[in-house]
Chain A
């Protein structure tokens, strides 16, 4: 077997296993830690697809920043000593969730099976970051600057909400 195939199976096993642990752990902090492993597994899958910059972004943003945000979110909750059942208000809709998830799984699987996956034979770029820089700073200038505005708006919005929580009127 090819190295790439072995790496893919190993990484998908880690990713799916830790994703299942996120759902099945009863302590919410353990779930958050398992989520970080899931993010790292996805970063590994990006590496097998030769998307090394995307993998670095995945590690920095998801495994680094998003998981910190989630852990801080958990730290701000005081209910029930981190027991998942007491913090999840929607836990009782078991059958509704089963129907929704099965339907979603069916729809996604249907489109995956229907899509004609063509294999690109062109040589892959060795310098993905350099190519990305040229595209981002030449052809996609407006979306690039819009990303800055989006980040600023998101930060201002979050501060407005958090200030309201901090000093309630």
Chain B
């Protein structure tokens, strides 16, 4: 079984080699003549103000939380989806109860405006 997964390792190595190769090759080929204007952060020709480190809205965090919950839900759905034909009606009812409980949570998130962009 492990041998099947070595292909993923080879893919990782290929991706790493490709990234490293492009960076090193461009480093070797490019002319290197920097001056202050060239080194400035590009922002459509306007002078940059402050740092890139600004505080983001908490709305992002709420989206991430809802995503996390439904990500875990997907993981529980996956084994059920593989076997639901042989497990029969009882498993389908179980899964519906599982989904309804989670949908209550989702409804609460919706009701409280966690998904609204304000």
Residues of A within 8 A of B (CB): 3-4, 7, 44, 47-48, 50, 52-53, 56-57, 60-61, 64-66, 68-69, 72-73, 75-78, 81-82, 126, 129-130, 132-134, 136-138, 141, 144-145, 147-149, 151-156, 158-159, 162-163, 165-166
A158 and B65 contact, CB distance less than 8 A: yes
B61 and A60 contact, CB distance less than 8 A: no
With contacts A145-B94, A155-B109, A159-B65 taken as known, whether A60 is within 8 angstroms of B74 at the C-beta atoms is yes
B66 and A166 contact, CB distance less than 8 A: no
Which of A69, A76, A129 has a CB less than 8 Å from the CB of B78?
A: A129
Residues of chain B lying within 8 A (CB to CB) of residue A156: 105, 108-109
In this assembly, does B46 line the interface, its C-beta being within 8 Å of a C-beta of chain A?
Answer: no
Residues of chain B lying within 8 A (CB to CB) of residue A75: 55-56, 60
Can you report 28 residue pairs joining A to B where beta carbons are below 8 Å apart?
A3-B3, A7-B6, A47-B2, A50-B1, A52-B1, A56-B75, A60-B71, A61-B68, A68-B64, A68-B68, A75-B56, A76-B60, A76-B61, A130-B79, A133-B80, A133-B83, A136-B79, A137-B83, A137-B91, A145-B94, A145-B98, A148-B73, A148-B76, A155-B106, A158-B62, A159-B65, A162-B62, A163-B112
In this assembly, does B15 line the interface, its C-beta being within 8 Å of a C-beta of chain A?
Answer: no
Residues of chain B lying within 8 A (CB to CB) of residue A147: 76, 98
Q: Which 5 A-B pairs have the closest CB atoms?
A: A152-B105, A133-B79, A133-B83, A148-B101, A78-B55
Residues of B within 8 A of A (CB): 1-3, 5-6, 9, 51, 53-56, 58-62, 64-69, 71-76, 78-80, 82-84, 87, 90-91, 94-95, 97-99, 101-102, 104-106, 108-109, 112-114, 118
With contacts A129-B78, A133-B82 taken as known, whether A76 is within 8 angstroms of B56 at the C-beta atoms is yes
